[in-house]
Each structure stands twice: as structure tokens, then as C-alpha cells.
Amino acid sequence: MRADLFGLVMEAPAVTFYLWSPWRCTAIEHKLFEALKTVPNATVEASGDEVRLSVTDAKAWKAAVQNLSRVLKGWQEEASDSSKDEHRSWRWLLESDVDARGRDMQGEPASFWCYVRLSIDRGGPGETEKGEDIDLNGFGVRVWGEKE
């Protein structure tokens, strides 16, 4: 499947969305995962302390990215509706870690991980800038590498 993340294109056999420790996750992490449940041809699995949703179809990936973007844009617009002194933004963080054999620290084939970072800037002109970055540690996306 071809996974396109805002112009960064990856070939992958599957993509899995994770909600780790749902009982500790923030409301926005739950909203992100709930938005994925409407994606066609998605498989949901719950085990122990995590819930996983897997897609293997490019159309399902595209729908998932659109759903996630809608939730994040809605969160961003909440600040402009409620307060003029708060500016919200979000960005995707990509991570991958492999050794010389193309394996991660668990010994599995390489894959990309995508995480979301929220930024909140408070204050107005003439005030000292008060910014805050929040990493959504309970929600992650794994773009799987090719299986051998």
C-alpha cells in the first residue's frame, strides 16, 4: 500500500494506529482513536493495555489521515473561538531506529513511527511569550516495513 503523509510517501504492507493505556490517555487521544473507527476495511484489536486499529488499503489510510486532521483542526479552532490570547498548532513527529541489519531494538524489521505534538502559545503583544509543547504519548502510528 502507498501511505502518503502530507507529501511524504512510503510503501508499506500495513499501518497500525495505537492507543496505549486508554485509561491514562487524554481526551484528545481518545477523540483521535474514535475518529479512526469509521475508516473502511480497518481491523480493531484490543489486548491488555492497548487498542490497535490496522489498515492495509491506501484508501483507508487516506481516510484515516483526513479523520485525524479534522480532529486536530477542530482542537486548534477551539482556541480561536474561546480566547484571542491562545494560539494552538500541531505537527507530526516521525521516528525510526534501526541497526546495521535493518532491525529495531526489539529485533523486528524496521518501521516508521508517527506521533503528534500539540503546541499552545498564550499571551498577547507586549507580554512575555508563554509556550507549551504537549506530546501525545498515548497515541501512535506505526508504518510497517516490508516483512522478509
Per DSSP, what are the bridge partners of residue 5? 8
How confident is the model at residue 86, as a pLDDT?
82
Q: Please tell me whether residue 89 adopts helix, strand or coil conformation.
A: strand
Residue 148 lies in a domain: no
Residue 104 lies in a domain: yes
Residue 10 lies in a domain: yes
35-53 mean pLDDT = 93
How confident is the model at residue 84, as a pLDDT?
66
CA distance 118 to 29: 11
For the chain, the domain total comes to 1
- pLDDT category at 102 given cuts 50, 70, 90 is confident
Contact (Cβ atoms closer than 8 angstroms) between residue 134 and residue 117: yes
Residue 44 lies in a domain: yes
Residue 97 lies in a domain: yes
Angle of helix 27-36 versus helix 58-82 axis, rounded to 10: 140
**pLDDT exceeds 90 at position 62:** yes
Domain ranges, residue 60: 2-143
CA distance 55 to 64: 9
**pLDDT exceeds 90 at position 31:** yes
